[in-house]
Every structure is written in structure tokens, then in C-alpha cells.
Amino acid sequence: MKRFAFATVSTIAIAAGSSVVAEPQAEVLHWWTSGGEAKSVAVLQEEFASNGGTWTDMPVAGGGGDAAMTALRARVLAGNAPTAVQLKGPAIQEWYEEGVLADISSVAEAEGWADVLPASIAGHMKCEGTWCAAPVNVHRVDWIWANADVLAANGIEMPTTWDEFNAAADKLQAAGVIPLAHGGQAWQDATVFETVVLGIGGPEFFQKALVDLDPEALTSDTMVQAFDQMRTLRGYVDENFSGRDWNLATAMVMNGEAAFQIMGDWAKGEFLAAGKTPGEDFLCASTPGDGYLYNVDSFAMFDVDGDDKKAGQDLLAKLIVAPNFQKVFNLNKGSIPARTDVGLDDFDICANLSAEDMGATSASGSLLPSYAHGMALRGSQAGAITDVVTAHFNSDMSSADAVQQLADAVANSY
């Protein structure tokens, strides 16, 4: 009905001999619904409105985005795709192959995206050479967050190895503190798992196992050790973890109910939104081992009818990658800018550590796409791995059986 109304106005104006510039319209589907995330997306809404646009918000709760993707598929099948959708990694390519994405190369070229985005990040935003998505940020996935007071009260330093983490967790448990805040959702299990694989196997093993899906790596003794560590971690989680959202687990660390959380740096957005200070109220460190797992939020533009919606897409794409939004958004979100030319003087110590490590790992070849957050694998392969990880975490399945099931599941996912 709205589209018909705009068409009618345009027709009348043209008949009267005047010209009308389409008012930018954008219906935006995303899953940023928690405190820090909602505050971040509000920044984009405000910028869009201040540039003459009308934003229709379509938030779908669920940190991993699974519910949002279900809603998206229903909309696309009905021939009523949103203007812009929070998408990332191989999922962008999958939708492109279905012939439903728009080409935003004119904006990308006019704004010089190729000159300010890392090549690896830019690669995710292109579909057969054309720009089809706009990157918002770079999240680091392999973080440990901790309550500073709880650690100090128990004489514990931030762990640098998994053995140190286990020793600290045993000490905390004996003192009546929940060692690890965790939410029993499949994507959260997968998040912890991939940090364990990286820490125990190293970057080269991670690449072989969870990016290349090499059968030898998937069935190796190293992978058995990773599942052994997952079984150990299961013992450090409280009994009420099932179904808990990730931000509620973050709140457990904030209020001192739990000591640690293993989660991407969107968790930092929750601490900041609650007025907590990094280095004082909470601590951040990479999970044990070398490497850097990245998760890039981005918006893909879908083919839509109407000059108003196309104008909305162009405006949205321009604003998303512009320096101001990249800075303000990421200060709220906990991530770092995708642009390499945005100064980090106003960013906290965790963000600066993230940027420093990203540069170093990019140079060393250990900057790796997160499998758990849709950057490394297509949905069927990632889902096959996560199903095994979650089944193991929620049962008494042996590590050897998990490894065999992992290899079988991956082989059957193609």
C-alpha cells in the first residue's frame, strides 16, 4: 500500500510538470536487540533520518541470527524482500546465487571503499566482483571476559593457557563462584568450541579443520583434545545454563555471579552500556593460544522495486561505511571499525588490543574467519559441526565418539 501511495504522488508530480526526488525508504531486518546492540543500531537509524530517510525497523531477537534468517527466507519466498538485511560471510554469496541481491558498486566506487577496507574484509562484501554488501565492523570472537573484583578476591590472573584456565576455574568453583557464564544455545556452544580448537591446535590446524574441513584434521588426536577440553568446560557451567541468552550470561559476570565468559566482543558492548570500565570493572584477554577469529557484521541489499527503496539502499550503504558511523557505531557495539583509516584514540583498551592483534595476525597469516559466526563455512557444513558440538556438550558422549561423528557429519553435509 505504501509503495502504491508513493507511486501515485510521483505520477501526479510528473503530470504537473515538476520533478520529485524519491524519499529514501529502508526496511531493515537485523537481530541487534540486546542493550549494547540496540543502542548501536539506533545510531544508524538517527543518521538515516537526519539525511531525509524513513527507516522501518524489523528486529528479530536471537543472537546468532537463526530466527532472522527464517524470517528473511519467508519474506523472499513471498516476493517481498526487505530493503537491507544483516548478513555476513558465505551467506551473502548464497543469497547472491539465488539472484535476489542488488548491486551497490556505484556507491562503493564513489566512496572509495576499496582504498579503506582490508582486502580480506572487502572480499566478503563482493559477489563475482560487484559490491553487494556493506561492512559495519570487525568483531573478535576469541575473547575471555572477566569480573575484575572476583578474580582479585580469589588471587587469580587472567589465564594464558587452557591449563591455567582450568586451574583458575577449579579454584573459583571451590570458593563457590560459577567459573564460566554460558548460555546453552547451539551458537554459543560453537563459539566456545572454535576458541578451544584455535587454542589447542593453533591457527594452521584451525584452518585445516574448521575452514578447509580436512578429514585428517577432523579425526586427529588434536581434535580429541579439543573435545576433552570442552568436556572440562562443561563442568564449570552452572546447572541453569540451558537456553540462556548470551547477554544474560554477560550479566552474570557483571554482577559477580560468575567469573568468566568466552564470547565475542559484542559482550563488551553490554559492559559499556551498563557503565562498566574496561581494565577496572571487567578484564579482557584473548582466549589461550595464537590467532584471531573475526566476525564481520554487514548489510546486504536485496533487489527491491521503487525509486524510494533504491534511494534508501544507496543512502544506507553510504552511511554504513562512512567514517562517522564506523566510529560511533563501534564505540557502542564493542567492535572495531572495518575501515582502516578511523582513529582509535577514543576507543578503550580492549578495542585497541583487538586492532593491534588484527594487524599482527593479518601479517602472520593467522587472521581467521569464525566458523561459529558464519564467516568460514556455508550453513550446511557449519550446522553439521555445531550439531555434534552441542550433542557432545549436553551428553556424556566420549571425545573419540564426537570426533568420529564430526567427520561423518561433515562428509554428509555436502
The single-letter DSSP state of residue 97 is H
Quote the percentage of the chain above a pLDDT of 90: 80
The single-letter DSSP state of residue 98 is T
In this structure, are residues 84 and 72 in contact, taking their beta carbons and an 8 Å threshold? no
Q: Higher confidence at residue 331 or residue 100?
A: 100
Mind listing the pLDDT tens digit for each residue in 228-246? 999 999 999 999 999 999 9
Q: Which fold has domain 140-294+350-411?
A: D-Maltodextrin-Binding Protein; domain 2 (3.40.190)
In this structure, are residues 217 and 385 in contact, taking their beta carbons and an 8 Å threshold? no
The answer to which of 257-266, 292-301, 355-364, 387-396 has the lowest mean pLDDT is 355-364
Average pLDDT (152-176) is 98
Write down the pLDDT at residue 64: 66
- 349: confidence class by pLDDT, cuts 50, 70, 90: very high
Write down the pLDDT at residue 12: 33
Q: Give start-end residues of each CATH 3.40.190.10 domain in the chain.
A: 2-13+22-139+296-346, 140-294+350-411
Give the strands of the sheet with 139-140, arranged side by side: 139-140, 292-295, 367-369
Three-state secondary-structure class, residue 279: coil
Greatest CA separation found in the chain? 80
Q: Which CATH architecture has domain 2-13+22-139+296-346?
A: 3-Layer(aba) Sandwich (3.40)
Degrees (nearest 5) of the Cα angle 339, 341, 347? 85
In this structure, are residues 249 and 265 in contact, taking their beta carbons and an 8 Å threshold? no
Write down the pLDDT at residue 276: 96
Among residues 296, 35, 270, the alpha carbon closest in space to that of 140 is found at 296
Write down the pLDDT at residue 22: 79
What residue type is assigned to position 354 of the chain?
Answer: S
- 359: confidence class by pLDDT, cuts 50, 70, 90: confident
Average pLDDT (340-358) is 93
pTM: 0.83
Quote the percentage of the chain above a pLDDT of 70: 94
Average pLDDT (61-73) is 84
Mean pLDDT, the chain, as a whole number? 92
What residue type is assigned to position 59 of the chain?
Answer: P
- 11: confidence class by pLDDT, cuts 50, 70, 90: very low
Segment 365-368 long-range contacts (CB within 8 Å, at least 24 positions apart): 365/203, 366/203, 366/290, 366/291, 366/292, 367/120, 367/291, 367/292, 367/294, 368/198, 368/203, 368/206, 368/207, 368/211, 368/291, 368/292, 368/293, 368/294
Three-state secondary-structure class, residue 113: helix
Among residues 298, 319, 271, the alpha carbon closest in space to that of 373 is found at 298
Q: Higher confidence at residue 322 or residue 364?
A: 322
Mind listing the pLDDT tens digit for each residue in 276-308? 999 999 999 999 999 999 999 999 999 999 999
